[in-house]
């Protein structure tokens, strides 16, 4: 089936003129593009990231004179159930008075505490970082995105020493919590899951009836998820032959979780196509690459070398976060990845910080994307518009080798294959895929946030939406 999937890719490239039609056969073409025959050199130096922007796109925020006011606007307009009483206290850094943190209690008993870290610019404050503080015995999992950015005393104030595993835990910051006067907080329109918005883009008339039927099924599932769990979900699919698309909430901003590894993979192959790096280049991991979550590199000492090819395989098939952060550093940082995403029409996709097992309070302070963005990017990857045709074929092959649990795959008939990448965080369940349908191959991206903490509920949501999209493509 992999040969069929890749053959379909070649057909797409032929149709678009990226590959010569006088090739003697698809098998010969795929053989020519094998890993071993891809030209490379292990002597090339790591790129220095010059010529790329520095990276972190600061989210647009309403300026305010107090850190608690900025934090309240951010979380109350995004997370259902947050109110003024959720804003608990403020800590102001003694090491750098331009920084402060705000503690926000989640709306559910099991949700825990969010910490917003803010920096003052002249007379107003802006949020820079955020964590969900639920790892008192292992704060290093959360500190991955804070170290080197947030003042140390604010990091230490997240957990009092008494909450640590033992007395050798983090020292007390010595900072005193300042209570928040809730009456001083701004008036905001509190968050509710959005009314599901159905979108159809240039769907042909002869496809409209069954597409409309199945997209209504998807809309109802998303509405049920909102009613039952106060969660928001979105989906977008694009037919790879006709170019038309459809979805529900396709432009809602979601946490990207590990699906953000797709544009990073594209960025790596852009560098390969430009001759700056190769698959056989070998480089060492660094201490700053470390992150918890998936993958086995987190248990390996920093300073161990692997090839670009191996890092890619670990990132995309094992979802290894250390491999991801090593590649991110190697290609020049978030700025380059974001430029690549934007060049492919994914203008609402941002790699905001290193990839970890933890999440921020809101998507604007985390890695983020939309269903439409990710489907658009995958569509261009498939057709060879994202990189060279050779690199496109290799990326599809890598994604096809991902055998981790896939809710999109679970929603397909058993004999239908997919090249996919998923990811999940607390109350976040995401996946994007290229799906081989015999007559209508397609890409699909499904994202969710702020819903159930039960992973099985999240899997069922994605599986159901995947099934709806397949039936729309199948005409059934």
- List the CATH number of the domain containing 318: 3.40.710.10
Residue 131 confidence (pLDDT) above 70: yes
CA dihedral for 364, 366, 371, 375, sign (positive or negative): positive
- Please report the DSSP string for 305-330 in residue order: EEEHHHHHHHHHHS--HHHHHHHHHH
* Integer Cα distance of 73 and 64 in angstroms: 10
Residue 326 Cα to chain centre, angstroms: 17
Whether 7 contacts 19, CB under 8 Å = no
Whether 420 contacts 432, CB under 8 Å = yes
Is 62 inside any structural domain?
A: no
Paired residues of 118 in beta bridges: 100, 127
**Residue 351 pLDDT grade (very low, low, confident, very high; cuts 50, 70, 90):** very high
**Residue 161 pLDDT grade (very low, low, confident, very high; cuts 50, 70, 90):** low
SS3 content of the chain, % helix, strand, coil (to 5): 40, 20, 45
* Integer Cα distance of 386 and 264 in angstroms: 12
- Please report the DSSP string for 370-412 in residue order: -HHHHHHHHHHHHHT-SS-HHHHHHHHHHHHT--S--HHHHTS
Paired residues of 64 in beta bridges: 125
Is 30 inside any structural domain?
A: yes
Task: Tell which of 163, 184, 205 closes a domain.
Answer: 184
Is 59 inside any structural domain?
A: no
Task: Tell which of 184, 209, 229 closes a domain.
Answer: 184
Whether 327 contacts 337, CB under 8 Å = no
Neighbouring C-beta atoms of residue 424, cutoff 10 Å = 24
Count CA within 13 A, CB hemisphere, residue 337.
Answer: 32
Is 189 inside any structural domain?
A: no
Overall number of domains in the chain: 2
Judgement on whether residues 239 and 296 belong to the same structural domain of the protein: yes
The DSSP H or E segment spanning 432 is strand 428-435
Whether 230 contacts 451, CB under 8 Å = yes
**Residue 59 pLDDT grade (very low, low, confident, very high; cuts 50, 70, 90):** low
Judgement on whether residues 169 and 227 belong to the same structural domain of the protein: no
Residue 386 confidence (pLDDT) above 60: yes
| Model pLDDT for residues 207-240, shown as the tens digit of each residue | 999 999 999 999 999 999 999 999 999 999 999 9
Average pLDDT over residues 250-267: 98
CB-based contacts of 346, cutoff 8 Å, min separation 6: 263, 369, 373, 374, 376, 377
pTM: 0.88
* Integer Cα distance of 410 and 338 in angstroms: 31
Judgement on whether residues 322 and 394 belong to the same structural domain of the protein: yes
Task: Tell which of 116, 150, 184 closes a domain.
Answer: 184
User: How much is the pLDDT for 175?
Assistant: 83
Whether 247 contacts 234, CB under 8 Å = yes
| Model pLDDT for residues 276-285, shown as the tens digit of each residue | 999 999 999 9
Is 114 inside any structural domain?
A: yes
Judgement on whether residues 333 and 387 belong to the same structural domain of the protein: yes
Whether 249 contacts 233, CB under 8 Å = yes
- Among 308, 409, 324, 406, smallest CA distance to 367 is for 324
**Residue 176 pLDDT grade (very low, low, confident, very high; cuts 50, 70, 90):** confident
Judgement on whether residues 470 and 343 belong to the same structural domain of the protein: yes
Range of the domain at 215: 2-54+194-474
Residue 38 confidence (pLDDT) above 90: no
* Integer Cα distance of 82 and 335 in angstroms: 32
- Among 60, 131, 54, smallest CA distance to 334 is for 54
Judgement on whether residues 387 and 453 belong to the same structural domain of the protein: yes
User: How much is the pLDDT for 56?
Assistant: 57
Residue 100 confidence (pLDDT) above 70: yes
């Amino acid at each position: 089936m992999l040969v069929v999937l890749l053959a379909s890719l070649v057909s797409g490239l032929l149709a678009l003129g990226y590959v010569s039609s006088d090739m003697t056969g698809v098998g010969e073409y795929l053989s020519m593009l094998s890993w071993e025959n891809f030209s490379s050199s292990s002597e090339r130096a790591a790129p220095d990231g010059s010529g790329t922007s520095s990276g972190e796109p600061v989210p647009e925020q309403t300026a305010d004179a107090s850190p608690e006011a900025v934090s309240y606007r951010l979380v109350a307009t995004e997370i259902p159930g947050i109110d003024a009483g959720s804003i608990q206290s403020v800590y102001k850094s003694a090491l750098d008075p331009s920084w402060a943190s705000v503690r926000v209690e989640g709306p559910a008993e099991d949700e825990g505490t969010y910490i917003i870290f803010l920096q003052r610019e002249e007379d107003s404050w802006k949020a820079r970082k955020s964590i969900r503080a639920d790892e008192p015995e292992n704060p290093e999992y959360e500190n991955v995105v804070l170290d080197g950015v947030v003042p140390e005393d604010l990091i230490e104030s997240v957990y009092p020493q008494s909450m640590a595993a033992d007395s050798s835990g983090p020292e007390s910051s010595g900072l005193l919590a300042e209570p928040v006067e809730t009456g001083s907080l701004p008036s905001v329109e509190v968050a509710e899951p959005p009314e599901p918005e159905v979108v159809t883009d240039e769907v042909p008339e002869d496809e409209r009836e069954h597409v409309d039927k199945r997209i209504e099924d998807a809309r109802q599932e998303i509405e049920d998820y909102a009613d039952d769990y106060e969660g928001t979900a979105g989906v977008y699919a694009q037919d790879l032959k006709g170019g038309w698309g459809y979805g529900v909430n396709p432009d809602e901003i979601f946490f990207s979780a590990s699906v953000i590894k797709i544009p990073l993979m594209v960025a790596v192959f852009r560098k390969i196509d430009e001759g700056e790096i190769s698959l056989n280049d070998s480089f060492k991991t660094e201490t700053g690459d470390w992150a918890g979550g998936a993958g086995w590199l987190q248990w390996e000492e920093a300073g161990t070398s692997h090839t670009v090819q191996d890092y890619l395989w670990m990132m995309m098939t094992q979802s290894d976060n250390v491999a991801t952060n090593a590649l991110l550093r190697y290609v020049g940082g978030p700025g380059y990845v974001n430029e690549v995403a934007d060049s492919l029409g994914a203008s609402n996709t941002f790699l905001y910080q290193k990839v970890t097992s933890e999440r921020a309070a809101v998507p604007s302070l985390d890695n983020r994307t939309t269903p439409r963005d990710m489907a658009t990017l995958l569509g261009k990857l498939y057709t060879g518009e994202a990189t060279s045709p050779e690199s496109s074929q290799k990326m599809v092959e890598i994604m096809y080798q991902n055998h981790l649990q896939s809710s999109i795959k679970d929603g397909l008939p058993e004999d239908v294959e997919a090249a996919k990448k998923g990811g999940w965080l607390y109350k976040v369940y995401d996946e994007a895929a290229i799906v081989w349908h015999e007559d209508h191959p397609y890409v699909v991206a499904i994202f969710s946030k702020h819903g159930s903490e039960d992973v099985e509920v999240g899997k069922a949501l994605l599986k159901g939406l995947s099934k709806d999209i397949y039936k729309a493509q199948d005409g059934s």
